[in-house]
Amino acid sequence: MKKLNKYSIIIIIINLKSAEIMLKGEVILNTLIAYATKYGSAKKCSEILSQNLAGDVDLCNLKNAKDIDLSKYDKVIIGSSVYIGQIRKEVKEFCTNKLSELTNKKIGLFICCMHEGEEAIEQMQNVFPKELFDSAIAKEHFGGEFSFDKMNFIEKFIVKTVSKKDGKKEAVDGKKSISNLSEERIKKFTQAMNDI
């Protein structure tokens, strides 16, 4: 009789889990999370999503990706940080170049920004192509972060100046990093993507 090694056991467990899912009639969908980030907020949110989504999940930092084969994915989640009112260039190009393929997938969109409520929703509508935004099943703004330890002098100055002019928010000092990422919104978005 052949002795099993630990890798054989892992493969058997995976195959048993797949068989159990097939018997129950569940369908496992492959998900791609394509994101780009300036200081790491969108990456952090993408990693949280990948750990909580059902099925196989691939993470792709669009800054390092060349051509992505979307044919092996049923669901595609696209996320980006917003910087000076715009999503990252890599995300914008991905959405534009793959628009016809993306509109045939189950789509989720998220942004990381410091705006809240209606301002964040409006910003989200403005940064993604309308056709893609309208076809998305899940859309959410997860909050954002000011990572001052990663910013240069000019970026810190801009953030401090803008925060002073925005009477709705407390002014920032440019020294202590700030995070308002919402675990609740990430969880709600994950649930919506798992339910499809």
Q: Could you tell me the pLDDT band of residue 148, with boundaries at 50, 70 and 90?
A: low
User: Mind listing the domains of the chain with CATH numbers?
Assistant: 29-144+181-196 (3.40.50.360), 147-179 (no CATH)
What pLDDT was estimated at residue 120? 81
What pLDDT was estimated at residue 20? 44
Buried b or exposed e, range 16-46, using 16+ CB within 10 angstroms? eeeeeeeeeeeeebebbbbbbbbbebbbbbb
Mean pLDDT of 88-102: 94
Query: In angstroms, what CA-CA distances link 184 with 45, 66, 132, 149?
Result: 12, 33, 24, 26
Residue 105 in this model has a pLDDT that exceeds 90: yes
- Give me 33's structure tokens: 């999370």
State the SS3 of 23-47.
HHCCCCCCEEEEEECCCCHHHHHHH
What pLDDT was estimated at residue 99? 94
Residue 10 in this model has a pLDDT that exceeds 70: no
Task: Kindly tell me the number of DSSP H helices and DSSP E strands found in the chain.
Answer: 8, 8
What is the tens place of the pLDDT at every residue in 165-175? 565 555 565 56
For residue 181, the SS3 value is coil
Q: Could you tell me the pLDDT band of residue 9, with boundaries at 50, 70 and 90?
A: very low
Number of neighbouring beta carbons within 10 Å of residue 15: 10
Q: Cα–Cα–Cα angle for 78, 84, 89, nearest 5°?
A: 40
Q: How many residues does the chain have?
A: 196
Please indicate whether residue 110 or residue 67 has the higher confidence score (pLDDT).
Answer: 110
DSSP 112-151: E-S--HHHHHHHHHHHS-HHHHHH-SEEEE---EE-GGG-
CA separation for the pair 77, 49 (Å, rounded)? 9
Contact (Cβ atoms closer than 8 angstroms) between residue 94 and residue 67: no
